[in-house]
Structure 1
Amino acid sequence: MIETLIALFTAHVLADYVFQSNKMVQRKKEPLYLIYHGAVVFGTAVLLTGTMGAPIVALTLFHILTDWIKAQTKDGIGAHLADQAVHLVALTAIATYAPELWHTGVWTHAPDFVPYMLLLASGAVFATRAGGFAVGILMAPYGPEFSKDSLKNGGKTIGMLERGLIYVLVLAGLPIGIGFLVAAKSVLRFETAKDGDIAENRKRSEYIIIGTLASFGWAILVSLVILLLFAQLPDLGIALPKP
């Protein structure tokens, strides 16, 4: 089952965070874009599981239905997290119902390390890119004024890098390094907040703290879940950190 779940999770990550553009996200109320996204979901699931059948069709239809419902609701962090939670529950349900998908598809003779590589890669994308979307939605109500003087996409790039570093540190068994990352970011941000209006600096500091904690929390949680999934895979004789 675990290999099937990893394959489906990787397909989900590719469909939602690699092959889905911002334009597609914004226009999901339009049937054409929703159907196109559904085709991508179906294609990635078929590619990653190496099989085509009723479970994949059911997963695709449920994904389309979930996205259509979300498109009708007011966008916000709660709706976004609920959407992703429903998708992940659906993946788990399909993997439980049809655990043999991986072993009966074209990847049945794939080396044992392939699921490890898929999980490592999909976890990295989910920690960095998916985390960026979640943090961006969380911070949107606070307005763009705190980042208007920053480099173009500077905050987005910093967030991607910090979540990527946390992912590597946790999987490498070096979570203590996160403390140094927090300290370095705090020092750099302090230097930019020494001058100027006190009230404005306080608001800016709170904005940065909320975004940083959300970004770090997302990356740490995803990293721990990935470690738990690693522990369910066949032993390759490689020592992995304990979550």
Structure 2
Amino acid sequence: MVETLIALLFAHTVADFVLQPNWMVTRKRHPGVLLLHGSLVLLTAQITTGQFAALPLLTLALLHLMIDSVKTYGGFTGLTGFLIDQATHLVVLAGVALWSPSLWDTGLWTARLPDPMGAALPHLFTVGAGAILAIRAGGFAIQLLMQGHALSDKPEDNGLPGGGATIGHLERALIFLLVLAGQIAGIGFLVAAKSILRFGTISGDRKATEYVIIGTLFSFGWALLIALGTQSLLATLPPLEITAQWP
């Protein structure tokens, strides 16, 4: 069952955070755009599981559309709405995996891909889903959080366009990689480096300092939790024996 859940989770992260650009999010009240997103949810689930005529996947896409409709037309646009929306999607993914745990085992990839490639795919899906959640989803979550702490002149306003968001993506990517590599202590050096580099731009401005601290702590904490969750999910999979297959 865990492989099915991982395949569905990876499909969800791709559909929600990679294949859903800003124009789609802003126009989601239009039924056509909402249906397009639902179609992408179904397509990504079909591709990752290798199942193209499975009723559980169609049910998954319909439930995804229902959840998004409630969020969109209900006006739940803040961080709380985002977190509840994603948590509900995760519950649906788990429910579908429990309903049809053999989706992965009977799918195209299990039958067609020889080991070690077939055995490695769930591991790759897990890392991919974790990276998307840590980097892309984390960026959206921080943006929603910081809406409640808006400054008239943000610290990055005089810097590169989009520079702050890019820094956030990079720092969460580094934290994710450090945790998976077993080098959690390296996060401390990352915190110190960012503090030193930011000191000159916010020194003496209490509002800007607090703005940066809130965003940084949330960004680091988000990436750390996702990375630890990814580690835990990887631990549920059978270990890869690539050396045994390729002497």
Q: TM-score normalised to the size of structure 2?
A: 0.91
* Alpha-carbon offset, residue 141 of structure 1: 2.5
Give 3-state SS (helix, strand or coil) of 1:82's partner: helix
- From 217, 230, 237, the equivalent of 1:213 is 217
Taking the aligned partners of 2:76 and 2:119, their CA distance within structure 1 comes to: 43
- From 222, 226, 232, the equivalent of 2:226 is 222
Taking the aligned partners of 2:202 and 2:214, their CA distance within structure 1 comes to: 16
Taking the aligned partners of 2:138 and 2:14, their CA distance within structure 1 comes to: 14
Taking the aligned partners of 1:171 and 1:104, their CA distance within structure 2 comes to: 30
Mapping 1:177-216, distance limit 5 Å: 177-194=186-203, 198=204, 201-216=205-220
Give 3-state SS (helix, strand or coil) of 1:173's partner: coil
Mapping 1:11-22, distance limit 5 Å: 11-22=11-22
Segment drifting more, 144-153 vs 92-101: 144-153
- From 178, 182, 193, the equivalent of 1:169 is 178
Taking the aligned partners of 2:61 and 2:124, their CA distance within structure 1 comes to: 24
Which residue does 1:55 correspond to in 2? 56
* Alpha-carbon offset, residue 150 of structure 1: 2.2
Q: Residue 176 of structure 2 contacts residue 227 of structure 2 at CA under 8 Å; is this kept in 1?
A: yes
Segment drifting more, 140-149 vs 5-14: 140-149
Structure 1 unaligned blocks of 5 or more: 239-243
Q: Residue 76 of structure 2 contacts residue 82 of structure 2 at CA under 8 Å; is this kept in 1?
A: no
Mapping 1:108-123, distance limit 5 Å: 108-109=110-111, 110=113, 111-123=118-130
Segment drifting more, 69-78 vs 211-220: 69-78
Runs of 4+ in structure 1 displaced over 3 angstroms?
Answer: none
1:43-62: CA deviations, max 9, x gaps?
A: 00011111131110110000
Give 3-state SS (helix, strand or coil) of 1:148's partner: coil
Taking the aligned partners of 2:217 and 2:99, their CA distance within structure 1 comes to: 37
Q: Residue 38 of structure 2 contacts residue 61 of structure 2 at CA under 8 Å; is this kept in 1?
A: yes
* Alpha-carbon offset, residue 142 of structure 1: 2.2
Mapping 1:121-136, distance limit 5 Å: 121-136=128-143
Taking the aligned partners of 2:55 and 2:76, their CA distance within structure 1 comes to: 32
Q: TM-score normalised to the size of structure 1?
A: 0.93
Which amino acid in 1 is paired with 2:50?
A: G
Structure 2 unaligned blocks of 5 or more: 243-247
Which residue does 1:241 correspond to in 2? none
Q: Residue 15 of structure 2 contacts residue 40 of structure 2 at CA under 8 Å; is this kept in 1?
A: yes
Taking the aligned partners of 1:235 and 1:192, their CA distance within structure 2 comes to: 47
Give 3-state SS (helix, strand or coil) of 1:235's partner: coil
Segment drifting more, 222-231 vs 116-125: 116-125
Taking the aligned partners of 1:83 and 1:193, their CA distance within structure 2 comes to: 34
Taking the aligned partners of 1:113 and 1:74, their CA distance within structure 2 comes to: 38
Q: Residue 10 of structure 2 contacts residue 126 of structure 2 at CA under 8 Å; is this kept in 1?
A: yes
* Alpha-carbon offset, residue 143 of structure 1: 2.4
* Alpha-carbon offset, residue 237 of structure 1: 4.5
Taking the aligned partners of 1:61 and 1:105, their CA distance within structure 2 comes to: 21
Segment drifting more, 136-145 vs 58-67: 136-145
Taking the aligned partners of 2:150 and 2:201, their CA distance within structure 1 comes to: 19
Taking the aligned partners of 2:241 and 2:196, their CA distance within structure 1 comes to: 41
Which residue does 1:65 correspond to in 2? 66
Q: Residue 34 of structure 2 contacts residue 65 of structure 2 at CA under 8 Å; is this kept in 1?
A: yes
Which residue does 2:239 correspond to in 1? 235
- From 147, 157, 169, the equivalent of 1:148 is 157
Which residue does 2:245 correspond to in 1? none
Q: Given the alignment of the two structures, is residue 159 of structure 1 paired with residue 168 of structure 2, yes or no?
A: yes
Equivalenced residue count is 233
Which amino acid in 2 is paired with 1:27?
A: R
